[in-house]
Amino acid sequence: MHADLDSFYASVEQRDDPRLRGKPVIVGGGVVLAASYEAKAFGVRTAMSGGQARAVCPQAIVVPPRMNAYSQASKDVFDVFHD
């Protein structure tokens, strides 16, 4: 089994807010904590400064992190792995 969790935080945001699906999403403002695949296509990378990320992808939607949501989603993923 292979699970691609590279854009996990951004994927959780897209899962929880259908308006974000298919759009470039950046989680975190000062530093990129995660970027959706759509944002990565423009060169946005994890740990990049927020200013750099917005420069390469000005149309990105920046959302604040929701660590509780990511923790629960992670637990749900690992429950599937366990099964």
Domains of the chain with bracketed CATH: 8-82 (3.40.1170.60)
Roughly how many angstroms between the first and final C-alpha of the chain, as a whole number?
12
pLDDT surpassing 90 at residue 10: yes
User: What is the rounded CA–CA span in Å between residue 39 and residue 25?
Assistant: 6
Structure tokens at 7: 């854009």
Task: Write out pLDDT tens, residues 27-76.
Answer: 998 999 999 999 999 999 999 999 999 999 999 999 999 999 999 999 99
Q: What are phi and psi of 49, to 5 degrees?
A: -65, 150
Q: What is the pLDDT of residue 24?
A: 98
Band (pLDDT 50/70/90 cuts) for residue 2 is confident
pLDDT surpassing 90 at residue 17: yes
